[in-house]
Amino acid sequence: NAGVTQTPKFQVLKTGQSMTLQCAQDMNHEYMSWYRQDPGMGLRLIHYSVGAGITDQGEVPNGYNVSRSTTEDFPLRLLSAAPSQTSVYFCASSYSSSGRSYEQYFGPGTRLTVT
């Protein structure tokens, strides 16, 4: 099992450029999520998905889009990068059961710099 994989590990963008951060998991988890980590802020939820075809917004969704066409993949799209989106991005997945919450397994992260 590779667990949760993310690509790329590092990325530098210019303001206004778009890109997609890739996330994949091979644990057949229904729940997947994207977080951003900024110094002194902990991790904040951007978007999440409880299954293929279902996505929803988290705490800080502005400027980001997601889709979930398969159980395995959950890409995060930056539509028009801004310096405020400079951050470390983590993808996570977990088993899902109605009314219960399970530990999330995190990918290694993508460090994004927007200049």
Instruction: Write down how long the chain is.
Output: 115
Is the Cα dihedral 55, 57, 59, 65 positive or negative?
positive
Question: Taking CB under 8 A as the rule, does residue 102 contact other proteins?
Answer: yes
Q: Are 81 and 19 in contact (CB under 8 A)?
A: yes
To other proteins, the closest distance from the beta carbon of 14 in angstroms equals 25
To other proteins, the closest distance from the beta carbon of 32 in angstroms equals 9
Query: Using CB under 8 A as the criterion, what x/- string covers residues 60-99 for binding other proteins?
Result: ----------------------------x-x-x-x-x-xx
To other proteins, the closest distance from the beta carbon of 89 in angstroms equals 12
Residues 20-39 interacting with other proteins (rule: CB under 8 A): 31, 33, 35
Please count the CA atoms within 13 angstroms of the CA of 48 that sit on its side-chain side: 16
* Rg of the chain taking only CA atoms, in angstroms: 13
Please work out, in degrees rounded to the nearest 5, the angle formed at the alpha carbon of residue 6 by the alpha carbons of 81 and 10.
50
| Binding footprint of other proteins on the chain (CB under 8 A) | 31, 33, 35, 40-45, 48, 50, 56, 58, 88, 90, 92, 94, 96, 98-106, 108-109
